[in-house]
A = this chain, B = another copy of it.
């Protein structure tokens, strides 16, 4: 929203980010058809940059762009969701394995600082704040892997799973459990134990039977009460 455009970022880039945000936060629901003209009008630009933004989103898999049929937000099936989490778990595990071997002292320091920040949010019982700081924690692990490409891929998928990840905090005492798991992850990385770090991060991603079922159940609950899902996600 800040109009301080010191660096003239490409218009379609900004648009992509804004539309992305609305999809990821659930303002635009799955199944919604995004009308180019409406978007153009609502953002005060012509259709051209809107189209370019949509193409970028389609390339990232966030929307489904079928020829002559327009852009629709795909309804992510439970199966598809499971697949994505399965990959996410492995990418995180890989980051952890590499980080345990490659992390620098200053990076470890920053990771621990991020963990302490999470601790504060946890103690304060503030899930929203915890959610935010959790993102930072994971970002630090990605960086510590010292594989830039891997970090980008992990961050991209992380973003795409954001709505579901957030949802997950609604499950009873997920925050506490998550915090415990972070502890284990840090310890493994600090100890330079790659396999243990990988295992800890893999376990940290919600794909194991119960947790994933919880997630899907919560999702169905939200969908059942048709529209409020957007508000609930925000």
Q: Point out residues on A near B: beta carbons under 8 Å.
A: 8-10, 12-13, 48, 51-52, 55-56, 59-60, 67-68, 80, 83-84, 86-87, 90, 94, 147-150, 153
Contact = CB atoms under 8 A, between A and B. Distances in A.
A9 B67 CA distance: 7
A83 to B, nearest CB: 4
Chain A binding site: helix, strand, loop or mixed by DSSP?
A: helix
A94 B68 CA distance: 37
19 contacts: A8-B68, A9-B67, A12-B55, A13-B67, A51-B52, A52-B55, A55-B59, A59-B60, A80-B148, A80-B149, A83-B147, A83-B149, A83-B150, A86-B147, A86-B149, A87-B94, A87-B147, A87-B149, A90-B94
Contacts of A59: 55-56, 59-60
B10 A150 contact: no
A143 to B, nearest CB: 13
